[in-house]
Structure 1
Amino acid sequence: MMQKLKKLMQGKFVKNITVLASGTAGAQLITIAASPVITRLYGPEAFGILGVFLAMINIVTPAAALTYPIAVVLPKEQEKAKDLIRLSLAVSLILAVAALAVVLTSREALVSLFNMGDKEPYLLFIPLLIIFGAMVQTSEQWLIRMKEFTVSAKVKLYHAGALYGSMILIGLFYPAAAVLVTLAALGNLMKSLMMAYYSLGKTLRVKKEELRLDKVRLRAVAKEHDDFPKYRAPQVLLNAVSQGMPLMMLSALFGPAAAGFYSIGKTVLGLPAHLIGKAVGDVFYPNLSEADKEGRKLTPLVKKGTLGLAAVGVVPFGIVVLIGPFLFEFVFGAGWDRAGEYARWMAFMSWFMLAARPVIAAVPVVKAQRFFLIYEAVSVAVRFGALLLGFYFFDSDLAAVALFSLTSAATYLFLMAYVWMIAGKRDRRMSKEMGGRAE
């Protein structure tokens, strides 16, 4: 048993997770150190406006290239992976132009709907951030494919230092919501350029002739991976909507300050997911893909990853449940205890979200993207209903957050159980096909 544990700890899988987690840990340490200063400089209302802006961006950018970047890891041939990068960037440019048209014709209605006050000009960032988002996604997935996890870790660290350092420095002289929103937008640009630079310099060497778009090849690779725009892109969009719903509805019905409390709670509770969950997911995805190509069993890998992350989350989320209000007021300053009340309930959702990372990574590998889309559509409807129940039946922002969080936890639990079942069916089928040789 000890030899197996030692072998596991010395394996590439754990080493890659450690590299990614170390970069993420450094970035999160910067976030933790900077947040108490930033909350005291700007206040809940500014954070609420930033949260609503980021929620809108997070709805648009994950599907900026119709999730084709996620497919970059899958092809055996390098040239197909590069074609997927070209396709992703071309699609994002088309979508950015479409988004610009929507913003120019509907920005007043959007500002009124989300109670953004005089922050209408911020909406003009959206088309640019679609392109920046696609650049980040394609660069990240290429680095994951090439297993250059050190580069990803380095970029996370540099990006966090520059972003939060700028927020504090400028906030000392001009602590306005405009500063937070503008820096968040510029931060995405900076991250996309850094990821692209390190991708080009490290593993993605591009010749002049490769910059030309071969329409026939792009059509072929788009058709081969058409399950991503058909199923994964709508799923990602629906998930982003469900994550952004509380911020938008809190801002619209209770004002920017309520959205600010939710935003800081989400930031704090997202630390374990960003620190460990994303690192595990990014390393897990190519490993699952390799295991699938080799005909090995996937269920043990997925279950171990899920249960391991669930165990990791017990302590941090348990602390928030027990002393959330005191902790938030102590760290972020007077008046932020309400955010701790929100966080108590959000901790349940965040715990299941963390545990579900390996399951979500397994979805494209076990060919469950159609199911994932249906699951997400039902999940969004259920979560939206929970928010409405809190707002209109209980007339309480806290009740709305509690119901939304508990409902979200239940949907993640269902997702884990179902994907385990799908992976088990795949393993049994592979075992029969290979005459019992799948390991």
Structure 2
Amino acid sequence: MGTALAQAVPVILSPVISRIYLPAHLGLAGIFLSLTNIFGPVSNGKYDLAIHLPKKDKDSIQLTMVGICFSAIFCLLLFCIIAIFNVQISSILQSPEMQYWLFFVPASAFFIGCFEMLMQISTRFKKYSHLSRVMVFKSGTLGFFQVGIGYFNNSAAGLILGQVLSVFTASLLLLNTTKKKMFVEYKRITTYNLFQLAKKYSEFPKYAMGSSLFNILSLNALNLLIGILYSPAVLGLYLLTYRVINLPTTVISQSLSKVFLEKAGANKRASEPIKKTFIKTSLRLATISIPLFLILYITIEHVYGFVFGEEWTDSGKYAKILTPLIATKFIVSPLSNILYVYNKQKLMLFWQIGLLFISVSLLVGSSYSNNSFEYFLINYSSLLTLYYLILYAIAFKISIKN
């Protein structure tokens, strides 16, 4: 129920937001969000993926603090870089308006890094119902700030500040859930213990951090390049497309991903086979994905123009093209966590490098060949669907061997 509500809130508010903000506002906010989405999830060194591995809860709690400290240092360095090269970065992005908003990127990235750490420790403690409520709260807060600020100030400020404030408040809510155990363990923490845990799980910042960065870049670098190589208007249409059609993945699939990661970690700690868990999760994801995205593929092109207005009709065309890819990612992405559980970070890193290379090459090649954006999306969706199926085959092979 909670995940369904979290999914419904952005969908319901999207028609309102599309009528409050101009495409230029969506484009500027898209650039900001791309930057925070690139740096935020990796700011914690990807120690969040290691939360389920220690046998003792106290080590997981201390590992959470390691990730938060890592995020603080990372974002402080990021702020220094932005302060020094603010003008140059804005020039590269071809967006002078970003000079002011760039200073909000490190803060937003820090909140995202903390949120991911707290999400994983809450999952380890099996706070599933509370996690669902947090996701609903986060979606509701995002919509409230974006609509509220946009109503009084018709600029990109509402879109940007809505993202920052929603993650910040959701992180506080998660911290409130785990504060008793966190504060008890905080009294026992020593710098030596933190360094020992950071060293023990150093494979995650060494390899998983890079792997995750390439994965995020494969999507968010596209947003930046679309605005530069095509136009802000096209970027605005594409962002609305991805925002709506990717919601099932960001809410439902990611929730199941956290559950699978916890179960896989438990299987490994108990030296139990994981094949059964892998197949069961695969079938569960497929049962949701196939009918859901089949309905979307048939109806979505006509729905966009009616719901969001005639000026957004092209977004419906883009969504239909991307549906097979999103349906495949819905199934494969949660299951790919098995590579992290069994220390295959290097393999995942190479796969993500390939994903980034394919994505950027297709976009740049399409632009310089003067092909339409639709032509790019057709090739992008087709090739990446096959590429994700290769990842599924790799994950399945690992589940058999373990």
TM-score bin, normalised by smaller chain = over 0.9
Cα offsets for 1:39-65 (capped at 9, x unmatched): 111132222221221111111011111
Could you tell me how far 1:243 is from its partner in structure 2?
Answer: 1.0
**CA shift in 2, pair 1:344/1:115, >3 Å:** farther
- Report matched runs for 1:302-381 at 5 Å: 302-381=278-357
Segments of 4+ moved more than 6 angstroms: none
Note if 1:243 corresponds to 2:213: no
Picking from 243, 250, 253, the partner of 1:267 is 243
Q: What's the RMSD between the two structures over aligned residues?
A: 1.8
Q: Does the 8 Å CA contact 1:135/1:196 hold for their aligned counterparts?
A: no
Corresponding residue SS for 2:182: coil
Q: Give the total of aligned pairs.
A: 402
Could you tell me how far 1:122 is from its partner in structure 2?
Answer: 0.8
Report the equivalent of 2:229: 253
Report the equivalent of 2:56: 77
Q: Does the 8 Å CA contact 1:107/1:123 hold for their aligned counterparts?
A: yes
User: TM-score if structure 2 supplies the norm length?
Assistant: 0.95
Note if 1:113 corresponds to 2:89: no
Report the equivalent of 1:225: 201
Picking from 58, 61, 64, the partner of 2:40 is 61
Picking from 152, 156, 166, the partner of 2:145 is 166
Report the equivalent of 1:11: none
Q: Does the 8 Å CA contact 2:53/2:269 hold for their aligned counterparts?
A: no
Corresponding residue SS for 1:342: helix
Could you tell me how far 1:136 is from its partner in structure 2?
Answer: 0.6
Could you tell me how far 1:110 is from its partner in structure 2?
Answer: 2.2
**CA shift in 2, pair 1:33/1:94, >3 Å:** same
Find the aligned partners of 1:363 and 1:208 in 2 and give their Cα distance: 31
Find the aligned partners of 2:324 and 2:374 in 1 and give their Cα distance: 14
Code of the aligned partner of 2:176: Y
Find the aligned partners of 1:406 and 1:49 in 2 and give their Cα distance: 29
**CA shift in 2, pair 1:247/1:129, >3 Å:** same
Code of the aligned partner of 2:158: V
Picking from 396, 411, 415, the partner of 2:387 is 411
Q: Does the 8 Å CA contact 1:103/1:123 hold for their aligned counterparts?
A: yes
Per mean C-alpha deviation after superposition, the further-off stretch among 174-183 and 297-306 is 297-306
Report the equivalent of 1:387: 363
Could you tell me how far 1:90 is from its partner in structure 2?
Answer: 1.5
Corresponding residue SS for 1:335: helix
Higher Rg of the two aligned structures: 1
Code of the aligned partner of 1:364: Y
Cα offsets for 1:9-48 (capped at 9, x unmatched): xxxxxxxxxxxxx222111211111111111111322222
Find the aligned partners of 1:87 and 1:246 in 2 and give their Cα distance: 31
Find the aligned partners of 1:77 and 1:300 in 2 and give their Cα distance: 25
Note if 1:43 corresponds to 2:22: yes
Picking from 267, 290, 298, the partner of 2:274 is 298
Could you tell me how far 1:281 is from its partner in structure 2?
Answer: 0.9
Report the equivalent of 1:148: 127
Corresponding residue SS for 1:76: coil
Q: Among all aligned residue pairs of Structure 1 and Structure 2, give the percentage whose two residues are the same amino acid.
A: 24
Could you tell me how far 1:207 is from its partner in structure 2?
Answer: 5.9
Find the aligned partners of 1:166 and 1:185 in 2 and give their Cα distance: 10
Code of the aligned partner of 2:184: V
Code of the aligned partner of 2:122: L
**CA shift in 2, pair 1:113/1:341, >3 Å:** farther
Find the aligned partners of 1:382 and 1:349 in 2 and give their Cα distance: 14
Report the equivalent of 1:215: 191
User: TM-score if structure 1 supplies the norm length?
Assistant: 0.87
- Report matched runs for 1:130-145 at 5 Å: 130-145=109-124
Code of the aligned partner of 2:195: R
Note if 1:185 corresponds to 2:161: no
Code of the aligned partner of 1:209: K
Could you tell me how far 1:310 is from its partner in structure 2?
Answer: 2.7
Could you tell me how far 1:354 is from its partner in structure 2?
Answer: 0.3
